[in-house]
Amino acid sequence: MNTISSSIARIVAICVKEVTQLRRDRLTFAMVVAIPLMQLLMFGYSINTKVRHIPIAVCDHSASSFSRQLIEDVQASQVVTVTTRAGNPNQLHTMVQNGVVSAGLYIPIDSERRYYSDNGEAIAQLIVDGSDTVMASALKALGHFPFLPGGVSSFTHNPGDISVTLLYNPAQRSELNTVPGLLGLILTMTMVMFTAVAIVRERERGNMELLIATPVKTAELMIGKLIPYVVIGMIQMTIILWLGYLLFQVPVAGSWWLLIGSCLVFIFANLGLGLVLSTVAPNQMGAMQLFIFIFLPSILLSGFMFPYAGMPEVAQKIAEALPMTHFMRIVRGIILRDAQFEGIQTDLLFLALFFVGTLTLAILRFRQRLD
């Protein structure tokens, strides 16, 4: 009995010691509560296959009470929301190509005549960005939209449907949407994690103090640390795109130079974020915990797994602060839609400013830790 009592006492002592250690480690204790809470909120808000209020543009050449009623009724379905107008079908196509809207509704000048004719002509055409298969499926349902002017049908034949044209991914292959997203996911995972952990490891081993003793300035030290990881990121980009084409037949429709430049900016943005985490984390375990805290929202809110348009406004605002959200728009736009610089310049500017801001913050925090 004494042996059993002594064993229990030792186990209790170890438990008390472990709880005390966890309580003193504020970062670990906070993550115990923060990670389950974050997962619950992120999954609860982001997992939504019933997409609503998808932004579309309208080109109305009919400009009649009939076309206005059609637009109002289409919006009443809550599947789409008209956010902008186009002057002609070419402008409508350009908006969809550059990702300004997810679809464009073209109403021809004789739409009312088509509706009341017996030849089954489509009364309007919906041009859909088919690169996002979930949104494309939701928009395809509008092809059989039960439009009845005035709410009552005065004739017995079936009116023409809205013609739906899926661009960029007419077969709705999920690989075309997944492979470009994986490029952003893998670059985020490796660049942020490697940078944060590697610099913390240098500090733990005492190598950072040796570097500080040299004439190297803080900014030079930071940039010198980043350049090798930029090369690693470009190698990863090449591997992903090459295997994506070889195994899944995902070609790059847009400019290679624009894609390479965009990936470089995104890599720098992630490396800047990793530097900031390395100045906050007390050790390698802390760096990994902080990385998970950033990585989970990047997966769930960026549009990689679930449509951005289907998330509530609060989740969308959080997503806008994440580099991966902007890169998802850029990389899918270039690879799938042949998006031009004008269509991605806002997201590119955000990534560039994000890198400048995080690099500046990392340098300032690094100096404070030295003091």
Rounded to two decimals, the pTM is 0.79
- Asked if residue 112 and residue 163 are part of one domain, the reply reads yes
- Of 135, 167, 199, the position where a domain reaches its end is 167
Domains of the chain: total: 2
Closest CA to 82 of 44, 113, 124, 32: 124
- Of 167, 191, 225, the position where a domain reaches its end is 167
Give a yes or no: residue 48 inside a domain: no
- Asked if residue 228 and residue 154 are part of one domain, the reply reads no
pLDDT in tens, 46-62: 555 667 788 889 999 98
- Asked if residue 330 and residue 188 are part of one domain, the reply reads yes
Strand 103-107 relative to strand 54-60: parallel, antiparallel, unpaired? parallel
- Asked if residue 314 and residue 184 are part of one domain, the reply reads yes
Domain holding 273, by residue range, is: 174-370
Helix 174-205 vs helix 323-337: crossing angle, to nearest 10 = 140
Give a yes or no: residue 64 inside a domain: yes
What Cα–Cα distance (Å) separates residue 28 from each residue in 107, 114, 284? 58, 66, 12
- Asked if residue 134 and residue 104 are part of one domain, the reply reads yes
pLDDT in tens, 301-360: 888 877 777 777 777 888 899 999 999 999 998 998 888 888 899 999 999 999 999 988
pLDDT in tens, 226-238: 888 888 889 999 9
Contact call for residues 112 and 61 (beta carbons, < 8 A): no
- Asked if residue 218 and residue 285 are part of one domain, the reply reads yes
147 alpha-carbon distance from chain centroid? 34
* DSSP string for 45-59: HH---S---EEEEEE
Give a yes or no: residue 286 inside a domain: yes
- Asked if residue 108 and residue 237 are part of one domain, the reply reads no
- Asked if residue 131 and residue 261 are part of one domain, the reply reads no
